[in-house]
Amino acid sequence: MVRRHTVTPLLVGTLILRANSGASTIVLGLLLAHMAASTAHKITSVQVGLLPVAFYISELTLAPFMGGLSDRWGRRIFLVSGPAFGLLQAGLLFFTPAHQPLPYLLGLQVLAGLSGAITVPAVLGYLADLTVRDQSRRVRVMSLYELVTSGGIAVGTVMGGLLWFWSGRGAFVWLAVSYILVIWCMWLSPVANQAVSSERKIGETARRYLRILRMPRLLAFLPAWLCISALVGIWLSSQLTFILSTPVRYPHQLLMGSMSGPGGGRILSLVLGGIVLFFSLSLLFWAFFLQKIARLRLMFTSIIGVYLACIALFGINHRGVGDTTMIYVWLPLLLIGVFAETSFAPAALAYLADISEEAARDRGMVMGLYSIFLGLGQILGNGLGGMFAHRFGFDGLIYLTALLALVALLSLFWLFKKDGRYSDDKSIYVSE
């Protein structure tokens, strides 16, 4: 009976899956930094930025197709097969060549993107199926999904540096083995009632998908979502790990290469893991204490948090050598900013689940749009992040973040001023 009434197995599987992702990002960044320092082949921030770009191009291209197939064939086969491709990709990372590693890694990133394209639309479609008749539970479940996502990344961020410290390349073997647990958890997920699509004509299906993509509610929200997703690409990728652990230093930027050298990977994992863990606890607060606040206002709050975090990071990066006084000012400001910006994710996911009610037969395809927007945003964030970091160092990530947050802010202002129904219709933004 337990299997039919709980989403715990799926959430546990997602937690492990995201932990693998966070750890892989850290280990891969440390591996590339090690190669850059120990081989004659030069590896730059721009090249590192290409790796997540390849991943998200693969995921966003395949996600709607895989989501559509899950509408026809059922979710369970996709819940299990997606992590199986992740297992293959993690195992092959162990064999990364020391000479010209980037072509090999780009191919594996495409494989990882396929794994995400199979898994994410099926998981989100499954959660939307499970909460059709309970809007209050939908907000909690989607928030818990974001919680285990960010919490898993936090755990993985800490474990990534430790695994590298203990095992070096052997860390990829441990990551591959953990995917077996993910497959088992997905298999144990309870059965959800799904409105299976029986449409067989490709033309009719394509026209139905185009109508979904032209939904005014979706189009109006797109710019803000893309920009926030780009921020995830800037700060939760191998780029940040590479910058902090690179042997290259910039004058007057204390964070550039601040965690290079012996034991740097362990310190880096603890610092980043602590921040992502705080991010997760903030999500837990938004999930259970602020369900009655308009969702668009939560998104607006997140933009304010982004700017507070930018100010704090700039202050930390440019504080004087040996100056420990101002850190007690900048660190609390950074935590306040991170807390505020976490309000965006649960509001955005609940919003997308609401839209899926207008196309219940194509719920997997609609929820697959999450991967598309996240992928496009992260391609934008990683691609531009590599160029900004190459030109301005750590400051470049801050400049780009502020610019993207401005575009998102303008988008949300447009929703408030030009289309009042988005801010007035509480049924869209507030759980009943």
DSSP string for 353-382: HHHHGGGGGGHHHHHHHHHHHHHHHHHHHH
Cβ pair 147, 8 in contact under 8 A: no
Give the separation between CA 310 and CA 133, rounded to whole angstroms.
Answer: 40
Q: Is residue 49 in a domain?
A: yes
Instruction: Give phi and psi for 343, each to the nearest 5.
Output: -70, -15
pLDDT-flagged residues of the chain (< 50): 1-4, 422-432
Beta bridge mates, 253: 250
Report the Cα 313 to chain-centroid distance in Å. 21
Q: What's the pLDDT at 430?
A: 38
Q: What's the pLDDT at 142?
A: 76
Q: Is residue 200 in a domain?
A: no
Q: Is residue 137 in a domain?
A: yes
Q: What's the pLDDT at 320?
A: 65
Q: Which residues of 22-61 are buried (b: 16+ CB within 10 A; e: fewer)?
A: bbbbbbbbbbbbbbbeeeeeebebebbbbbbbbbbbbbbb
Q: What is the pLDDT of residues 130-156, one digit of tens each?
A: 776 666 676 678 778 877 887 787 778
Q: Is residue 213 in a domain?
A: no
Q: Is residue 222 in a domain?
A: no
Domain that holds residue 282: 2-191+230-429
Sign of CA dihedral 23, 26, 32, 38: negative
Number of domains in the chain: 1
Give residues with Cβ within 8 angstroms of 374, minimum separation 6. 56, 60, 229, 232
Q: What is the pLDDT of residues 402-422, one digit of tens each?
A: 999 999 998 888 767 655 554
Specify the DSSP class assigned to residue 254.
T
Q: What's the pLDDT at 432?
A: 34
Q: Is residue 50 in a domain?
A: yes
Domain at 317, CATH number:
1.20.1250.20
Q: Is residue 69 in a domain?
A: yes
Q: What pTM value is reported for the model?
A: 0.67
